[in-house]
Structure 1
Amino acid sequence: MQFDLLHVGTLVALAHILGVVAACHAILNTRTSQGAIAWAVSLVAMPYLTLVPYLFLGRSKFAGYADARRVENELLRAHAHPPEWDRLASSAELPAHALGGRLVHSLTRLGGMPFLPGNSVRTLVNGTATFEAIFEAIENARHYVIVQFFIVRDDALGEMFKDALIARARQGVRVYFLYDSIGSFDLPHRYVAALRAGGVDMHPFATHRLFVNRLQLNFRNHRKIVSVDGERAFVGGHNVGVEYLGGKPPLSPWRDTHIEVRGPAVASIQFVFTEDWYWATQQLPHLDLPPMPPPDPASGRGMHCLVVPSGPADKQETCSLFFVEAINAARERVWITTPYLVPDEAVFSALRLAALRGVDVRILIPSRRDHVVVFEASKLYAYDSLRAGIRIFRYQPGFLHQKVVLIDSIAAAVGSANLDNRSFRLNFEIMVMTVDHGFAKEVEAMLLADFAQSREIDRNEYRQASALRRVLMHVARLFSPIL
């Protein structure tokens, strides 16, 4: 018995020593003070529970990674950007609406991409509409198809997607396929091998080019991009899997949104893919952009669009600042839909201040959970938001995964970024902002339909929750900087 106790005591002491060492590492390397505190406290107090997660989630700073990625991006944007950028960006006028002009001016400098006229954008609500449009575009591809997803499943939808790409590749269409190595960790080798054998140029996106580090869950590529022949592109929240078609109870029906973009902004979306492709392969994809006609409002392609890519190698915290600037610019309303409500202090402060100055601030979140800790933390942020006058709605029919921002009656953004720290600082994301009254009206109608199927929450829910439930929410929020 004494021998066993001695061994147990030694293991406990060793765990605490390793916890202190890991806490020191977290303090030195975590990007934010809140994240450093969260890791340090948990590693010192509960090393038996947090040491292993820290190996996967906490080592967010790889030596030289951010610098190397940043240098590559800067070189590409200086020397390999689409030529249309120079002509169209210089001729693009800022929106007459004061909000649009201020917002565009700051976000073009933040994201490093131009504000381009002459586009058309349409919403694709839910998976059926999204993949019908994507499959139709792929089927009619003449020159090339680019594909990028965070999650690719080897299921019924994945098989259809694979067959569609192979069919075009066999017809001489160039197909470039980039998938995240961790988001698609369970994608079998035979799936990738079949695509490569069929002529598809397919690669994983990994933090290191030479190997996939299964212990590194940060710096993931969360973008979802499909583009065909430089003529149209698809961006949004859907990945490739039957759950995105509503085939995964109890989360079904799945509520998500994609957009289809036509016009000069397609070149910006493709260039985001080019940066990721070059990082993964050290080669530039051969993408011929079609000549762009002058903007003609009568053709329905008079929308102004701005592509805002973000990632952990940015000089600024682009994603967080995107939300802060959009919220601060609002004078009438800010409507946001997000599956995860775990904002950082800057975004949370911007939301509260907007509500306090009389802006209609609404946030739509799920009523069903796919991640327990994130869901519990989101609940507490939701209840705290109510005190500042922010209205929180829970979508009832199924799981809500869409990422949409509507600002006043002029600007709307759709893309891949969630309202959480992983999107703000740890993942590569893309948002497409359209400054156009007509498109804002279309997004407004879509969100009003979602609000009609949602339930508005109030403070009574928190007051009536059990003591244990409230403790769980507060404990979960302690981990919000690293969720």
Structure 2
Amino acid sequence: MQFADWLHLGTFVMAAHVLGTIAACHAVLNTRTSQGAVAWAVSLVAMPYFTLIPYLFLGRSKFAGYIDERRLENEILRSRSHPAEWESGDATDSGALQNVSSVRGVAAPGPAEYLGHPAIRTLTRLSGMPFLRGNAVRVLINGDATFSAILGAIEAAEHYVIVQFFIVRADALGQLLKETLIAKAQAGVRVYFLYDSIGSFDLPHHYVGALRGAGVEVHKFATKRVFVNRFQINFRNHRKIVVVDGERAFVGGHNVGVEYLGGNPRLSPWRDTHIEVRGPAVASIQFVFIEDWYWATQRLPEVGPTTRCPDDMHCLVLSSGPADKQETCSLFFVEAINAAHKRIWITTPYLIPDEAVFSALRLAVMRGVDVRILIPSRRDHRVVFAASKLYAYDAVMAGVRIFRYRPGFLHQKVVLVDDIAAAIGSANLDNRSFRLNFEIMVLTVDRRFAAEVETMLLDDFAESYEIDQDDYRLAPAWRRIAMHVARLFSPIL
């Protein structure tokens, strides 16, 4: 190399390190957690050539003024436009119920007693929504059952349809959804369609144009209402919500794409879970959409009241996001784990818990709770999968039983607490769901439903294998090093 070449190279290296140092200072000042700040600062100073560009995409955990503005809007909506069901007799006043014993070792409380449990009061305050009784919840296992139910409900709609997904693809399933929505809009049904601007970044303009041309109100969700920053992939709306006529709501892990029907051979068969909800809890699910729709459009959708349900299940809708005053999603997992007397079973595609959740898992093991976590054996993201393997090893060392699902990729998000409570929704056991994404979970307190979820999970465990310490110890040295390097980025994964 000529002297001039060396000079150019030296200038590039110096500039990279100067920019890396500046970015590291920015990360220390703006990253929400100390772990994330350390991870970014070290990587930006030591390896700016590799981390400066990713920092543009992943690094900023907040926009100036965004959190305050979003939080103010939510508070106004909840005080002035909340569902009438929250004021009716369907709302369970958990504070008026007697407290159950918090002494460990006693039998798990029954349905009536459980509604007065301190954990229920905590989660009600955390969510900002009441526990509502008089619901029916049905489990939808895998894509065929989920989209058959969703499309069938939309086809039967008479007044309005709400559709919100993180990922919408213009493939065979996406086209079927589009045609169904267009048909309803042309029949005079009000249709509201919200998709995430980054999760659905490759959704063609002609797809959206066809919906709008047929009268469907379509909008993308972004942290900036006018300008969509392609370099910003935090604050994504990861929720999956469908509501039809206030009668039925659908929440869970499925997005709109053929891979969720097993169309990706590398990940097939795809294992996922959705739920169908009827009753007053539909109003809470619908209201979560209203908050997101109002942020995106500054208009309220025209929706109606929910219908009664002959069943009497108690449900709490828990929405979470980066504008929350508390870290709602992380605290939900902590409280659910702490509330367990007998067992806590969790299924998640990504196992990257924060310290609070991991401590709660360790303490649950110490008090004799059956703690199981089901994760995939196939990967869809290399870095996340590598970090998850190391966390799985740490969990096994702490006494947590870790299982890997064999048949295909596992994407469901399910929490089962004792024999009484189950939560299903969109939240993963990772920092992105805890602090960076908008999520929704539906918690049900009902023995019959918990038994149904237990049966489903037992079937999944039967098709899984339990890992032990050798899963990490017998791995090649280079792979163990890769796991530790990947874990450095866990606060931003």
TM-score (norm. length: structure 1): 0.97
Specify the alignment match of 1:78 in structure 2.
Answer: 79
Give the distance between the partners of 2:5 and 2:125, measured in 1 at CA. Answer: 62
Contact 1:341–1:420 under 8 Å retained in 2: yes
Contact 1:99–1:330 under 8 Å retained in 2: no
The structural deviation recorded for 1:96 is 2.5
Specify the alignment match of 1:52 in structure 2.
Answer: 53
Specify the alignment match of 2:463 in structure 1.
Answer: 453
Contact 1:56–1:215 under 8 Å retained in 2: yes
Give the distance between the partners of 2:148 and 2:162, measured in 1 at CA. Answer: 17
2:394 aligned with 1:384: yes
Specify the alignment match of 2:445 in structure 1.
Answer: 435
Q: Which runs of 5+ in 2 are unaligned?
A: 98-110
Contact 2:181–2:191 under 8 Å retained in 1: yes
Corresponding letter in the other structure for 2:31: T
Specify the alignment match of 1:5 in structure 2.
Answer: 6
Specify the alignment match of 2:293 in structure 1.
Answer: 277
The structural deviation recorded for 1:358 is 0.7
Tell me which of 343, 365, 374 is aligned to 2:384.
374
Q: Following TM superposition, where does structure 1 have runs of at least 4 consecutive aligned residues deviating by more than 6 angstroms?
A: none
The worse-fitting range, judged by mean Cα deviation, of 80-89 and 38-47 is 80-89
Specify the alignment match of 1:180 in structure 2.
Answer: 196
What is the DSSP-based 3-state SS (H/G/I as helix, E as strand, rest coil) of the residue aligned with 2:461?
Answer: helix
Give the distance between the partners of 2:168 and 2:253, measured in 1 at CA. Answer: 13
Write the deviation string for residues 100-141 of structure 1: whole angstroms up to 9, x where unpaired.
Answer: 622211101001001000000010000000000001100000
Specify the alignment match of 2:318 in structure 1.
Answer: 308
Tell me which of 483, 486, 489 is aligned to 1:476.
486
Specify the alignment match of 1:355 in structure 2.
Answer: 365
Specify the alignment match of 2:237 in structure 1.
Answer: 221
Q: 1:252/1:400 Cα in 2 relative to 1: closer, same or farther (>3 Å)? A: same
Corresponding letter in the other structure for 1:304: H
Specify the alignment match of 1:149 in structure 2.
Answer: 165
Contact 1:117–1:305 under 8 Å retained in 2: yes
The structural deviation recorded for 1:92 is 4.8
The worse-fitting range, judged by mean Cα deviation, of 82-91 and 159-168 is 82-91
What is the DSSP-based 3-state SS (H/G/I as helix, E as strand, rest coil) of the residue aligned with 2:117?
Answer: helix
Specify the alignment match of 1:462 in structure 2.
Answer: 472
The structural deviation recorded for 1:352 is 1.0
The structural deviation recorded for 1:88 is 2.9
Contact 2:317–2:443 under 8 Å retained in 1: yes
What is the DSSP-based 3-state SS (H/G/I as helix, E as strand, rest coil) of the residue aligned with 1:88?
Answer: coil
Give the distance between the partners of 1:308 and 1:377, measured in 2 at CA. Answer: 27
Give the distance between the partners of 1:415 and 1:61, measured in 2 at CA. Answer: 24
Specify the alignment match of 2:105 in structure 1.
Answer: none
1:185-224 equivalence runs, <5 A: 185-224=201-240
Specify the alignment match of 1:20 in structure 2.
Answer: 21
Give the distance between the partners of 2:333 and 2:40, measured in 1 at CA. Answer: 25
Give the distance between the partners of 1:151 and 1:210, measured in 2 at CA. Answer: 20
Q: Which runs of 5+ in 1 are unaligned?
A: none
Corresponding letter in the other structure for 2:342: E
Contact 1:92–1:116 under 8 Å retained in 2: no
Contact 1:182–1:217 under 8 Å retained in 2: yes
The structural deviation recorded for 1:302 is 0.6
Write the deviation string for residues 48-85 of structure 1: whole angstroms up to 9, x where unpaired.
Answer: 00000000100121000000000000000000001111
Tell me which of 113, 117, 133 is aligned to 1:97.
113
Specify the alignment match of 1:425 in structure 2.
Answer: 435
Give the distance between the partners of 1:465 and 1:110, measured in 2 at CA. Answer: 41
Specify the alignment match of 1:397 in structure 2.
Answer: 407
2:133 aligned with 1:117: yes
Q: How many residues align?
A: 477
2:144 aligned with 1:128: yes
2:53 aligned with 1:43: no
Specify the alignment match of 2:257 in structure 1.
Answer: 241
What is the DSSP-based 3-state SS (H/G/I as helix, E as strand, rest coil) of the residue aligned with 1:96?
Answer: helix
Give the distance between the partners of 1:2 and 1:449, measured in 2 at CA. Answer: 67
Give the distance between the partners of 1:148 and 1:244, measured in 2 at CA. Answer: 16
Give the distance between the partners of 1:90 and 1:372, measured in 2 at CA. Answer: 44
Give the distance between the partners of 1:447 and 1:44, measured in 2 at CA. Answer: 45
What is the DSSP-based 3-state SS (H/G/I as helix, E as strand, rest coil) of the residue aligned with 1:203?
Answer: strand
Corresponding letter in the other structure for 1:247: G
Contact 2:91–2:131 under 8 Å retained in 1: no
Corresponding letter in the other structure for 2:302: H
TM-score (norm. length: structure 2): 0.95
Give the distance between the partners of 2:140 and 2:133, measured in 1 at CA. Answer: 21
Give the distance between the partners of 2:274 and 2:200, measured in 1 at CA. Answer: 20
What is the DSSP-based 3-state SS (H/G/I as helix, E as strand, rest coil) of the residue aligned with 2:89?
Answer: helix
Give the distance between the partners of 1:431 and 1:172, measured in 2 at CA. Answer: 31
What is the DSSP-based 3-state SS (H/G/I as helix, E as strand, rest coil) of the residue aligned with 1:148?
Answer: strand
Contact 2:85–2:91 under 8 Å retained in 1: no
Indicate the percent of aligned positions where both proteins have the same amino acid: 75
The structural deviation recorded for 1:91 is 5.0
Q: 1:129/1:252 Cα in 2 relative to 1: closer, same or farther (>3 Å)? A: same
Tell me which of 159, 165, 168 is aligned to 2:175.
159
The structural deviation recorded for 1:89 is 5.2
The structural deviation recorded for 1:462 is 1.3
Contact 1:100–1:411 under 8 Å retained in 2: no
The structural deviation recorded for 1:99 is 7.6
